[in-house]
Structure 1
Amino acid sequence: MRRRILVLVGATTSLVLIAFLVPLALLLRTVAADRAVQAATVEAQSLSSLVGTTDRAALALAVQQLDLSSPDAVSVFLADGAVLGSAADRTPLVELGALGTSSSAEVDGGREIVFAVRDQIGGAGVIRSFVPDAELGRGVPGAWLMLGALGVGLLGLSLAVADSLARSLVRSTTDLAAVSHRLAIGELDARADSSAPSELGVVAESLNGLAARITDLLREERETVADLAHRVRTPLTALRLDAEALSAQGDAARIGAGVDAVQRAVTQAIEQARRRGTGPGAGRTGSDAAAVVRERVEFWAVLAEDTDRETVVDIAAGPLPVALGEADLAACVDALLGNVFAHTPDGTSFAVRLTPRPDGGARLVVADSGPGLSDGSAVRRGTSGAGSTGLGLDIARRSAEQAGGQLELSRSADGGLEVVVDLGGPDTPA
């Protein structure tokens, strides 16, 4: 943008200077030539009266003095053929002057001016003045040089002013772009300079208003999520009281443990909703993937036993640090295993494998021998073909991306669904 402005201003200024300076330069040359011709004409006319009133000796002396003091060559052609002053040939213009016609014309090397006169006895004489090209163009090169310097100076001044203006515009535009990028990565406290020139200032104010509105909307969303999650605590409390009232201690303990797990999940949802969106990487912590996955598999193993599901577990020895918090990783594992139990019939076997990645982090693979997926549509948020919320695989995808990895779906060796979740290490950018 800056270069384009400079090119535009430079081209416009150059055209204006050419339109102004070229005619002025031609005018200066014409004025210089007219001045030289006028001076030669005055000198020649000063001899006109002497030709008819003085004798030849006095006339020769006057012509000689004038020829020495003037840069022009002055000659007087008398009727008897004598030539006084500078030696010169009788040119066609001199012959025309001998016939009584005064005139001037451009000749090789300069300009020739002749005046027809009469001597003392009435004979026809001619006064010739020759103005060389050097005299016709005296002072013109210097004047042209000054005009060229003036043009270059004006062009440089215009480019300097244009560069200052362009730099101000580019700086303001760059600042706006930087603020928009900061907002895009979650720095919602970023604000643009509203004192930017003209329309850019209006854009900056609008961007600041948009950032403030986004901040308000995110705050309202977080508080709404937190409030909704908090409302779940009341029925959970009632469920705990009912569990404690059960006569069978084993059932009461198991239901109580489930209620405790749900309460922890609700509390984590509230905390996560309130800290999310405060900046890039906000709330992004690490955890030991081996410990978290092992704990969640043990939790689901009880239900797998009740539903006659054969389970293959292959978890590498820890620690396996990943760039994902314990709560988020546990939610990811629960979502994947929950899908297996929700979308495959009882007795369907599944496998859970956790291996380290060569570049840091871990790879989690959950594969089952169920019917699988017809396409990858279930990875889209809110999409489900089995009457669920459609959030399971999307939760896993977002967890993988938050840890700097990715989620892949494929067909397992048994014909079911295989979900591969790559989790980056603690230093992996999200």
Structure 2
Amino acid sequence: MRRRLALLVAATTSLVLISLLVPLAFLVHRVAENRAFHEATGEAEAIAVQVGTIAPAELAGTVERSAQINGHPVTVFLSDGTLIGSPANRSPAVELASRGRSVTAQTTGGWEVLVAVKDSQNRPTVVRAFLSDDDLRRGVYGAWTGLLFLGLILIGLGVVVADRLALALTRPMDAIARVSHRLAAGDLTARTEPDGPPEMQAVGVALNGLADRINDLLAQERENAADLSHRLRTPLTGLRLDAEALCDVEEAAKISARVDALERAVTAVITEARQRTGGKQRCDAAAVVRERVTFWSVLAEDQARELTVDLAPGPLHVAVSAGELTACVDALLGNVFAHTPEGAAFAVRLTPADQGALLEVADHGPGFRRVDPLVRGESGAGSSGLGMDIVRRTAESSGGSITLGATPGGGATVSLVLGRPATP
């Protein structure tokens, strides 16, 4: 914007100066011509006054001195055909002037100013002053150069003033843009100092108000999460007591373990929801994926599913927390068990990638339905449709991406690129 304003002012100033300086340049040229003609006419008239009052020899000296002083060739045509001064042809304009009419006529290489006069014997005499083309343009090019430099100086001053004015507008705009990017990146403490014109100050105040409102909403959400923990604690405690009251000790221990896992999951969700900032996190993807594959491999063995595991040795750091990656892997593997028949084989593969790590989960089930699995809340298989949304958001929060495809031989493949954490 700053550059565009400077260009706009430069263009506008140039147009104004052209509309003023071009006519002024023609006027300077015309004034120079009039001045040259006026000087030549005065010179010729001064000599014409002396015609008939002094002898021809003395007149010749006067003509020579005038030519040296003024720089214009001067010729006196006497009635008997004699020439005094600079040699010149007797042109038709001279013949016309010899009839008693003073004229100015164009000739080869310039102009001749002719003054008609009578000598002492009342015979026609013509005084000729010659103006070359250079005489008519004397001083014009210097004046034009001065006008050109004046125009350039004015354009430069206009651009400098426009740049200062543009800076007064763009500086607060840049500050607001920087604060907006910080807020978008999760820095909710970012605020701008309202500056600049009243309109820009109003935008800054509105942005600060928006940031405050976001903080208030997040604080309210965190408190709601805390309330949720208290609401869930009572039924979880009752469920644990019921499990401990079972006669089958093994079954009671199994259900208690499930209740403990559920309580840990609820606590992890609440803890994450109450985090104040969206600071960058990291974890070892190899360790997390290996731990979750080990957990799900027990269920795979119970359902006679063939599990192929290809995990890169750690550490393989990615820009997500261990809890987020755990939920992501559980969502992927949970979908395999929920949407493929028992006995359907699946594979888990984790390899390093240019951006960080590549996690692939491929099964040999029926494949994806028509509904886009990445659309939040749409499953097409009777589930909530939130699992793949968790996977997608995990990939995007790390700076990676997700790709859905078909498994060779039938089935669905989910390829997840997890971004590498920033160097501390």
TM-score (norm 1): 0.81
Q: Which residue of 2 aligns with 1:289?
A: 288
SS at match of 2:51: helix
1:5-20 alignment to 2 at 5 Å? 5-20=5-20
How many Å apart are 1:139 and its aligned residue?
1.8
The answer to whether 1:256 aligns with 2:227 is no
Q: How far did residue 272 of structure 1 move?
A: 0.7
Find the residue that maps to 1:84 and give its secondary structure: strand
Matching of residues 80-99 of structure 1 within 5 Å: 80-99=80-99
1:27 and 2:22 correspond: no
Equivalents in 2 of 1:329, 1:65: separation in Å?
107
Cα separation, partners in 2 of 1:294 and 1:104, compared to 1, 3 Å? closer
1:183-218: CA deviation from partner (whole Å, max 9, x where unpaired): 333233334453245755554444444333333333
Q: How many Å apart are 1:223 and its aligned residue?
A: 3.3
List per-residue Cα deviations over 1:89-144 (Å, max 9, x = no partner): 32222222221112222222232122222222222222222233333322222222
The one of 357, 366, 375 aligned to 1:380: 375
Query: 1:332 aligns to what?
Result: 328
Structure 2 residue 348 is the aligned partner of structure 1 residue 349:
no
1:271 CA displacement = 0.6
Could you tell me which residue of structure 2 aligns to residue 279 of structure 1?
A: 278
> One-letter code of the match for 2:295?
R
Q: How far apart are 1:264 and its partner, in Å?
A: 0.8
Q: Please say which of residues 325-334 and 314-323 is displaced more in the overlay.
A: 314-323
Cα deviations by residue, 1:394-423 (Å, 9 ceiling, x for unpaired): 23333444454536354685x6x5453546
Q: Would the aligned equivalents of 1:351 and 1:368 in 2 still touch at CA under 8 Å?
A: yes
Counterparts of 2:223 and 2:52, CA distance in 1? 118
Provide the residue aligned with 1:51 in structure 2: 51
Question: Equivalents in 2 of 1:135, 1:5: separation in Å?
Answer: 45
Distance in 2 of aligned mates of 1:45 and 1:144:
31
RMSD of aligned residue pairs (Cα, Å):
3.6
Q: Mean alpha-carbon deviation: is it higher for 101-110 or for 218-227?
A: 218-227
Matches within 5 A, 1:357-368: 357-359=351-353, 361=357, 363=359, 365=361, 367=363
- Amino acid of the residue matched to residue 264 of structure 2? R
Change in Cα spacing, 1:421 to 1:76, as seen in structure 2 (3 Å) is closer
**Of the candidates 383, 389, 406, which is equivalent to residue 402 of structure 2?**
406
Counterparts of 1:66-81 in structure 2, within 5 Å, are: 66-81=66-81
Letter in 2 for 1:406: I
Q: Distance in 2 between matches of 1:178 and 1:332?
A: 32
Query: Could you give the per-residue CA deviations for residues 226-247 of structure 1, whole angstroms, max 9, x where no partner exists?
Result: 4334421121122223333334
**Is the 1:400–1:407 Cα contact (8 Å) retained in structure 2?**
no
Q: In 1, distance between residues paired with 2:51 and 2:420?
A: 113
Query: Any stretches of 5+ residues in structure 2 without a counterpart?
Result: none
For 1:358 and 1:23, the matched residues in 2 are separated by: 73
Query: How do residues 24-423 of structure 1 correspond to structure 2 at under 5 angstroms?
Result: 24-166=24-166, 174-192=174-192, 194-196=194-196, 199-275=199-275, 278-281=277-280, 283-286=281-284, 288-297=287-296, 300=299, 305=302, 309-315=303-309, 321=316, 323=318, 324-339=320-335, 342=338, 348-351=342-345, 353-359=347-353, 361=357, 363=359, 365=361, 367=363, 373-385=368-380, 387-402=382-397, 404=400, 406=402, 408=404, 410=406, 418=412, 420=414, 422=416
CA contact 1:114–1:129 (8 Å) conserved in 2: yes
Deviation at 1:159, TM superposition (A): 3.2
Task: Give the CA deviation at 1:248.
Answer: 3.7
Distance 1:270 1:125, change over 3 A: same
- Evaluate the alpha carbon distance shift between residue 374 and residue 131 of structure 1 in structure 2; reply closer, same or farther with a 3 A threshold: closer
Aligned positions, number = 417
> Are the counterparts in 2 of residues 290 and 319 from structure 1 also a CA contact under 8 Å?
no
Partner AA of 1:377 in structure 2: D
Q: Relative to structure 1, is the Cα distance of residues 109 and 244 closer, same or farther in structure 2, using a 3 angstrom cutoff?
A: same
Distance 2:138 2:336 in 1: 102
SS in 2 for 1:328: helix
CA distance in 1, matches of 2:99, 2:415: 115
Distance 1:275 1:115 in 2: 104
What's the secondary structure of 1:275's corresponding residue? Answer: coil
Change (3 A) 1:202 1:82: same
8 Å contact from structure 2 (residues 172, 194) kept in 1: no
Q: CA deviation at 1:344?
A: 6.1
Q: Is 2:176–2:192's contact at 8 Å kept on the other side of the alignment? A: yes
Task: Give the C-alpha shift of residue 150 in structure 1.
Answer: 1.7
